[in-house]
Structure formats: structure tokens, C-alpha cells
Amino acid sequence: MENSMAFTVPAWVPEGAQRYLAHTESGRSIRDIARTEGCHASTILRQIRRIEMRRDDPSVDAALQRLADTHFTDEPGQVAGSHMYGADADNPLAAYDEEFDREALRVLRRMCETGAVLAVAEDMDKAVVVRDNGDGGTTKTAVVECKIAQALALKEWITCDNPGRISRYRISTSGRAALSHLVAEAENRARSRNELGMAEAQADFLPFNAKSASAPGRPKKLARARYSSAESPLIALARRRDRDGKPFLDDSLVTAGERLREDFELAQIGPKVAQNWEHFLTAGTGSRNDGQLSGAQGSSGARDRVVAALSDLGPGLSDVALRCCCYLEGLELAETRMGWSARSGKIVLRIALQRLKRHYEDQAEPDRLIG
């Protein structure tokens, strides 16, 4: 019997699952695995028993079966649809680990929203993240490859209390911790791409116009918005009701705000880690420069879409949209910083989202005329 695992699996596979597969698929004894891993045989036995009990969850069972079929055969990586699980000369395992991290970050962000669940149906290639809209219905917020959902379940980042034909998963405590870790890693990767001007890039990204922080004798405070791991203020407003009993923000307005946020996040990824959006704030001292960002070197397509949207909104509306949709500032904080009266921010925000929705609809018209 060999003293090392005969097959290699992606790094995202949990340690317990790796040892379970080494025992069940490679036929290695528990004592052999324990010697190799430098732990007691009882530890390996407990891990194997625990994974076996978890196979009652169809997603966990499918993930283990896919890993076994892909990596514990004579020709690994040849299973149809095994992207992310497979390995070959053109697609090293590191690429699949990176793909998993990217997809996990996207999905876990959505699952952190209040009332969000991941629905996985049997014999389907796709799963969906849906969110309770507070009106007895649900809103689809993301589409997920089933293999990603299965991997998240195997890692226990999502849990299902009652698996069945349609299993509904919620984010776990470990999933929330993993999300924070993935966000930090994504920021570090983006930061590593910036070989020059790091100090300037970090100083550029201010989620508010720190006018008081720039006062003489007071150091300028740097505050980075952790927009990736927080729930958007739009979601909270969508659960509120107006005088007629209708949602204060309908799904189309929330979608418009989330579209701006997604482009904003994409615009931060690139050689220049942080963009300077401060000149869009009405209280800012910078000039608009015809809607162009000075020195911005992020994702040009997403950056241009954000610039076009904010420029179309104009002063005031672009301010509240940038703060609430992109920086995820709460309404009370936004009202205080902009000097507005209490409870006026939600009205201005709704007007901004209505204008933003019309902007995206106008942008879609030329596309429909092509072809």
C-alpha cells in the first residue's frame, strides 16, 4: 500500500472529504491514511463516519460522487460536465480552485441577503438563489451551476434542514466567515496587480466626502467600504410598504440599483485597485471633468457604464445612488452626511432609482435595434 494519496483533488475539497475518498475510492486503510497525515486513526475514522452520514444530503452525495468519478479513475477529468472538478494539461487544478472561489464569492454574497435561499432540484443542471420579496412571493437573484451548489454543501458553507426533491439551502455560520475571507482574498489579489501607485490608489477610494476629516490640523481619515459583505439598503426598503400597502421599492427599481452596484464592483478590479468616485458627490470639491474619471484604470467597460449612469442622474440623485447602491451607506447616515432632513433620503433614493431604471431602459433600446 502506498503511503501517499494516489490521486490529487482540488484544494477546495475539505480535508475530511479528501480522507474519505482516499479510503473509499483508493482503498487505503484508515491506519495508512493516519500515518501519512500524522494523526491518530480514530481521528480519520470519525471524519470518514461523519462524511458518510452527510451523504443523506443529495448535494453532498452528488459532490462526492462527481469527485470520485473525476479524480479516482484511471483517466481523471474526462467526465462530461466536470469543469471545476477535473484536471488536465490545459486546465491545472489551480484554475478550478480559482473558479470555485470566484463563484462561491458571487453566490454567498446573494445568500447573505435577508430571506435568501438556494433552491436545488433533482436532475437539474442549474440551481437558483431566490429571496423573499415580502409580498408572499420570491425574486430570483442568481443562477448557479449545480456543481457549485454541491461543492458549497460539501464544504458546509450552506445547509439544508430538509433535503428532498427540491432542497432549499441557507448560508451557514461558516459560510458567512468564508465570505469575509473570500472578500479579503479578492481585494488582496486586486491589490497585487497594482505595481505602481499603491499609496495613491488606497487614498483615492473614500466612500464619503470627508470634508471634516480634511480640515486643518485633522488627519484625513481613510475608510474603505466593505460593500461586498453587507446587505444593500435597497433590500430593506423593498420590504417596507407605502400608504397603499405596496412595496416601497418594486423589483425593477431594486434590479436597477443592483445593476449599478455590480458595475461599480467590477470597476474596482484592475491595475488600479480603487477608483476616485468622490467627484460625483454633490458636496465634493472635485470637478466632473465631463464625466470621465481622472486616472481610472479599472475595468473600462464597467467603469464607463457607471460614469454614464451617474452622469445621467445628475447632482443629488447621483450622490444618493452612489452612497446607497454602491457604498451601501444606510439612509440615516447618507442623510446626515448630505445635510438632508430625516426620512427624506428614501424619497430621493426612489426618485434616483426610477431615473436609473429609465437610463438602463434607454440604453437597451439601441441594442434591440441592432440585427
Same domain, residue pair 289 and 322: yes
- Can you tell me the mean pLDDT for 109-135? 85
Same domain, residue pair 202 and 156: no
Cβ atoms of 296 and 276 within 8 Å: the answer is yes
Position 13 in a domain: no
Residue 286 has pLDDT above 80, yes or no: no
Same domain, residue pair 260 and 352: yes
**pLDDT value for 46:** 93
Helix (H) / strand (E) containing 166:
strand 166-171
Same domain, residue pair 97 and 158: yes
Same domain, residue pair 251 and 151: no
Percent of the chain with pLDDT over 70: 68
Cell numbers linked to 227? 460593500
- Give every strand in the sheet of 138-145, ordered side by side: 138-145, 126-132, 116-121, 166-171, 158-159
**pLDDT value for 83:** 44
**pLDDT value for 76:** 42
Which of 269, 233, 100 lies closest to 178 in space, CA to CA? 100
Query: Which range has the top average pLDDT, 7-16, 42-51, 88-97, 212-221?
Result: 42-51
Cell numbers linked to 9? 483533488
- Can you tell me the mean pLDDT for 136-165? 88
Cell numbers linked to 122? 433533482
Cβ atoms of 108 and 102 within 8 Å: the answer is no
pLDDT in tens, 174-211: 999 988 888 888 777 666 655 444 444 444 444 444 44
Position 335 in a domain: yes
Strand partners, 247: 241
Position 75 in a domain: no
| CA atoms of 157 and 230, how far apart (whole Å) | 17
Position 28 in a domain: no
Same domain, residue pair 133 and 270: no
pLDDT in tens, 232-248: 678 778 778 777 778 88
Question: Where does the pLDDT of residue 228 fall: very low under 50, low under 70, confident under 90, or very high at 90 and above?
Answer: very low
Residue 93 has pLDDT above 80, yes or no: no
Residue 152 has pLDDT above 90, yes or no: yes
Same domain, residue pair 327 and 206: yes
- Can you tell me the mean pLDDT for 9-20? 89
Strands 166-171 and 158-159 come out as antiparallel
| CA atoms of 232 and 229, how far apart (whole Å) | 9
Beta strands, E only, 308-361:
none
| CA atoms of 181 and 170, how far apart (whole Å) | 18
| CA atoms of 318 and 344, how far apart (whole Å) | 15
Q: Which residues span the domain enclosing 171?
A: 93-175
Position 4 in a domain: no
Cβ atoms of 163 and 170 within 8 Å: the answer is no
Q: Into how many domains does the chain fold?
A: 2
* Residue where one domain finishes, among candidates 148, 175, 202: 175
Same domain, residue pair 155 and 263: no
**For residue 360, what are the CA distances in angstroms to 239, 301, 308, 368?**
23, 15, 10, 13
Please state the length of the chain.
Answer: 371
Same domain, residue pair 137 and 204: no
